[in-house]
Homo-oligomer: A and B are copies of this chain.
Amino acid sequence: MSSKALDYENLNENVKKCQYAVRGELYLRASELQKEGKKIIFTNVGNPHALGQKPLTFPRQVIALCQAPFLLDDPNVGLIFPADAIARAKQFLGMTSGGLGAYSDSRGIPGVRKEVAEFIERRDGYPSDPELIFLTDGASKGVMQILNSIIRGPSDGILVPVPQYPLYSASIQLLGGSLVPYYLEETANWGLDINDLRQSVAQARYKGITVRAMVIINPGNPTGQCLSVANLKQIIQFCHQENLVLLGDEVYQQNIYQDERPFISARKVLLDMGLPLSKEVQLVSFHTVSKGYWGECGQRGGYFEMTNIPPKAVEEIYKVASISLSPNVPGQIFMGLMVNPPKPGDISYDQYVRESKGILESLRRRAHMMTDGAMYSFPQIRLPPRAIETANKLGKAADVFYCLRLLEATGISTVPGSGFGQKEGVFHLRTTILPAEEDMPAIMESFKKFNDEFMEKYEDHKGYSRM
């Protein structure tokens, strides 16, 4: 027995159980190496500003003015801030009572929620109700709030795609629920087979698990694909039949680097399907200022929108949000700016478009440089049996072993596929396309060189081994 009140042995078991590979063993080792002076290229998490992406000017001007409202009375303010940024800052300050230093309503500033609702209406062609939009400290916090409302214990299951961004597995473990995996099919462009879904639910039920919700990540993370309308319709019908809340993680909706298949929101598809589904299928959709080409990760701005969630349940979600008082207010302003950016004719419009295009085109070139995927790519690595054996001897998963070697050799910090989930015996790694464009060729060259040497070292050459 432990002698301390707060010791590893007597921590909440769910805390101990949960795994979060994006900042797991690889990240910790990379941080150590960085402290020792090694140059590390962090591609483990989408954090573009950390890799040199410059922030867009207009939103930063507006937020700077909101933070320093006394500047609005300074006769020199026009020398360093454009008039539309000044007007926008005044507009936001008018929406708050007390500016950025005051707690807002726990759901967020009503005026910003209205801007989000208008954005959704423009995007989907259906009106959206600001009262059903809650602003959050980034999308992750919103996902956790909703999962916390749903999960009552280990017999509540959540359908989660594999591979998946490990926020879902980690949150479900932390909240003491059961993750019910469904596999995306690598050979079918990471598509989703509705029959596999049915099988996953049947298997869970057999184990006594009630499946309560289904997560879709669209566009996919780490796979980067957009779901087709046909596929979304099947998913919505499936949720209707099985009485599941659909959780639509749509944080990558801006990041489409291929033209064949555009992003379409789950909400639009649902409402297009008409009655009775449009009034019956429950949907919560998530968005953020961190992803997209804005990449304002550190500001922690996000929202979720609820469709067909009964008012009494919405009230309870509001009550829980109120315990943390309010999401950070500057992050709320960023969300307002993202959904309502400068318009043609505004002083800052041209600069905003030029900067946005610059980032998006560079991301697109980098994406094509890497794979044809979206923000993240998830290449398969075919590991030779001797590499797998060596990893096993070291007590490590084979892909963890590969990624650690890659890190030590090149400084490139990736995430092993096992952190995202993959089929037995198949290995991947996840990297982002976010290093500065000019660094990409050298990084890819050093990656390729490492991979060639690794494979040569561990591949069985007929009658010859270099080990």
Contact = CB atoms under 8 A, between A and B. Distances in A.
Nearest to A173: B323
Contacts of A48: 98, 101-102
A9 to B, nearest CB: 9
Contact of A5 (B102, B244, B299): B244
Contacts of A77: 80
Given A47-B102, A70-B57, A322-B20, A11 B316 contact: yes
A309 interface: yes
A127 interface: no
Interface in A87-134: 96-106
Contact of A4 (B74, B167, B243, B319): B243
A141 to B, nearest CB: 6
Contacts of A243: 3-5
Contacts of A313: 4, 6-8, 11
A330 interface: yes
A100 B295 CA distance: 11
Nearest to A31: B105
A329 B245 CA distance: 33
Contacts of A96: 298
A383 interface: no
Contacts of A51: 98
B310 A50 contact: no
Interface in A266-323: 282, 284, 290, 295-300, 308-310, 312-313, 316-317, 319-320, 322-323
A387 interface: no
A45 interface: yes
Contacts of A20: 319, 322-323
Contact of A152 (B12, B57, B68, B290): B12
